[in-house]
C-alpha cells in the first residue's frame, strides 16, 4: 500500500495549525490583559470609595483637619474654608482613581485635562493646595507640587 501525501494539503494543514496556535496565544494574552485591567479598575473604585468616605467627612468635621497639621484659624486667615479643602481632596481622589484605572500618570492626566488645567490656574487653588496636599500622597501630590509649587 502506497500512501501519498499531497504537499499543498500538508502545507495548508500545517499553516492552519500554526494560525490556530497563534490565535489561542493571542486570546490568552488578551484575557490576561483584560483581567489585569479589571483588577486595576476594581482596586481604583475601592480606594476612591474608601478615601471619599473617610476624607469626605471633613465637611462634617472640620476639626479633623488638625490630624493633618492644618490649623482652622490659619485657613480662615488665608480666606478659604474647610469645604474648599474637602472639595479639592475629593476631586483629586477621583483623579487618582481614574489615573490608576486608565494606567496613566497624574502628570500626563493634568497636562491633557482642560477641566483640571482651568481649576489649577486659579489663584485660590494654589492657596487651597497648600493645605489639601497634607492629605494627599503619591504621584498626584508630586504632579501638583510641580504645577502649583
- pLDDT, tens digit, 9 for 90 and up, residues 101-110: 888 899 999 9
Asked if residue 14 belongs to a domain, the reply is: no
Predicted confidence (pLDDT) per residue in 5-28, tens digit: 777 877 888 888 888 888 888 888
Sequence-distant (6+) residues with CB within 8 A of 22 are none
Burial class, 29, CB count within 10 angstroms (exposed 0-12 / middle 13-18 / buried 19+): exposed
* Total domains present in the chain: 1
Q: Identify the domain containing residue 62 by its residue range.
A: 37-148
Distance CA 16, CA 25 (A): 14
Q: What is the pLDDT of residue 48?
A: 65
Quick one: pLDDT at residue 56? 65
Within a domain: 10 = no
Which pTM was predicted?
0.68
Q: Angle 125-129-134 (CA atoms, 0-180°, nearest 5)?
A: 165
Residue 119 lies inside a defined structural domain of this protein? yes
* Residue 38: burial class (beta carbons within 10 Å; 0-12, 13-18, 19+): exposed
Residue 115 maps to a domain? yes
For residue 54, the model assigns a pLDDT of 61
Interatomic CA distance for residues 120 and 109, integer angstroms: 13
Angle CA 141–143–33, to nearest 5: 95
**SS3 at position 97:** helix
1 within domain boundaries? no
What average pLDDT is seen over the chain?
85
% of the chain beyond a pLDDT of 70: 92
- Whether 129 maps to a domain, the answer reads yes
Amino acid at each position: 500500500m502506497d500512501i501519498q501525501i499531497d504537499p499543498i494539503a500538508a502545507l495548508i494543514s500545517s499553516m492552519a495549525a500554526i494560525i490556530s496556535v497563534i490565535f489561542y496565544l493571542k486570546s490568552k494574552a488578551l484575557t490576561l490583559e483584560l483581567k489585569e485591567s479589571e483588577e486595576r479598575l476594581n482596586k481604583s473604585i475601592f480606594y476612591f470609595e474608601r478615601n471619599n468616605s473617610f476624607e469626605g467627612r471633613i465637611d462634617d468635621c472640620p476639626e479633623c483637619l488638625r490630624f493633618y497639621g492644618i490649623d482652622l484659624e490659619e485657613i480662615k486667615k488665608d480666606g478659604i474654608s474647610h469645604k474648599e479643602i474637602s472639595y479639592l481632596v475629593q476631586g483629586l481622589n477621583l483623579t487618582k482613581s481614574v489615573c490608576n484605572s486608565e494606567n496613566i500618570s497624574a502628570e500626563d492626566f493634568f497636562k491633557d485635562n482642560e477641566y483640571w488645567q482651568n481649576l489649577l490656574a486659579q489663584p485660590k487653588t494654589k492657596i487651597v493646595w497648600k493645605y489639601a496636599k497634607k492629605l494627599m500622597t503619591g504621584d498626584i501630590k508630586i504632579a501638583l507640587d510641580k504645577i502649583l509649587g
